[in-house]
Structure 1
């Protein structure tokens, strides 16, 4: 019997619909794929899709966080809010990552920072509902790049690039493995948004 190899890109493109019958999982996968493949994405090529590729960050934990985010929005905001988000999720996350990249410009571009690690990206996804709420509170479109940038502006002054220096604050604030680190950073990001 002749074994044929599937082109990995075909598996990825089918995965969003075929592997995930749950609409939140399918959408999370599509969002991550667009963050990885979109030329304008600050995470272009940085995400390891289905365990393969040259990316440094695994897609699975990010997808898990996005699914939790979607479920939170559905629970808190109701069906109208989740429908709005389903249509704008790719746009929101692309703009959100661009805004994070601009607020922490040195850390995002630098090699001695841990801002593009799975733990940091998971924390950013966890505070996404707070970011959307703050953008709405500023009377702006929560999916718009400028609104998101305005909403997260306090992070630049309260936390700054230094928070992500791998040999500095990042290492000092490692808290009991990945889960603890994600929770610590999430708490810091939330507190900075409220001030």
Structure 2
């Protein structure tokens, strides 16, 4: 109760810093023992914080993946360096940014529709990934939920979206997404993500995994050499 009393609210305003530096500043502030209450950061997140619209949308999608209880990545992502998640927000948002930038699969669509469509697509996309690779997703000795794997799945998502468009399916259609990525179960399988197995043996990178995923979509029956 502050009626009639003066009180101070600490505020930090970042101006003319690159967007990723702003994120890192928040990460740094929140790593200190004077950690801010997460509720004080809410109004500073998303498009209010990032002037780069494509990057802002990327952060919105990451937040939806982390915050929605029906998302298989619920509570798995560190937002602004805070939370129990094991994967950082910034690299995922950077990967998503490309999809909303000019020429990306979501560019040129009505803004409000695009935001909702993209959120629905990515929540259902990762739900289907968690089903296709169920053993790996729910197992402890796999790297499928690592930043590298998640970035690779995001990187090949335009191929999945283009296939959905070719089939005249709704981009957020759970079953249609499942049909498109079904070849991954046959061609790639859970063992590809076993941390001490193929994952380390092949020196998996975002690029190498994305290439394998893309090939499996292009040649679902395994015709590629």
Q: Give the alignment's TM-score, normalised by structure 2.
A: 0.77
From 134, 141, 148, the equivalent of 2:163 is 134
5+ residue gaps, structure 1, are 176-180
Q: 1:168/1:125 Cα in 2 relative to 1: closer, same or farther (>3 Å)?
A: same
Task: Find the counterpart in structure 1 of residue 193 from structure 2.
Answer: 164
Using the alignment, how far apart are the partners of 2:83 and 2:108 within structure 1? 36
Q: How many residues align?
A: 188
Task: Find the counterpart in structure 2 of residue 183 from structure 1.
Answer: 207
List aligned pairs for 1:1-195, cutoff 5 A: 6-71=36-101, 74-75=102-103, 80-81=108-109, 83=111, 84-175=113-204, 181-195=205-219
Higher relative contact order (CA 8 A, sep 6+): 1
SS of aligned partner of 1:168: helix
Using the alignment, how far apart are the partners of 1:146 and 1:78 within structure 2? 20
Q: Give the alignment's TM-score, normalised by structure 1.
A: 0.88
5+ residue gaps, structure 2, are 1-6, 11-34, 220-225
Spell out, residue by residue over 1:72-103, the C-alpha distance to the aligned partner (whole angstroms, 9 max, x if none). Answer: xx415585447453341111110111011111
Preserved contact between residue 12 and residue 50 of structure 1 (Cα < 8 Å): no
Q: 1:77/1:41 Cα in 2 relative to 1: closer, same or farther (>3 Å)?
A: closer
Q: 1:42/1:52 Cα in 2 relative to 1: closer, same or farther (>3 Å)?
A: same
Q: 1:78/1:150 Cα in 2 relative to 1: closer, same or farther (>3 Å)?
A: closer
Q: CA deviation at 1:28?
A: 1.1
Using the alignment, how far apart are the partners of 2:150 and 2:73 within structure 1? 10
Preserved contact between residue 42 and residue 97 of structure 1 (Cα < 8 Å): yes
Using the alignment, how far apart are the partners of 2:122 and 2:178 within structure 1? 12
Preserved contact between residue 99 and residue 107 of structure 2 (Cα < 8 Å): no
Q: 1:63/1:76 Cα in 2 relative to 1: closer, same or farther (>3 Å)?
A: closer
Using the alignment, how far apart are the partners of 1:78 and 1:131 within structure 2? 13
Q: 1:77/1:131 Cα in 2 relative to 1: closer, same or farther (>3 Å)?
A: closer
Preserved contact between residue 99 and residue 105 of structure 2 (Cα < 8 Å): no
Structure with the larger helix share: 1
Preserved contact between residue 106 and residue 114 of structure 2 (Cα < 8 Å): no
Bigger-Rg structure (1/2): 2
Question: What RMSD, in angstroms, separates the aligned Cα atoms of the two structures?
Answer: 2.1
Q: CA deviation at 1:69?
A: 2.0
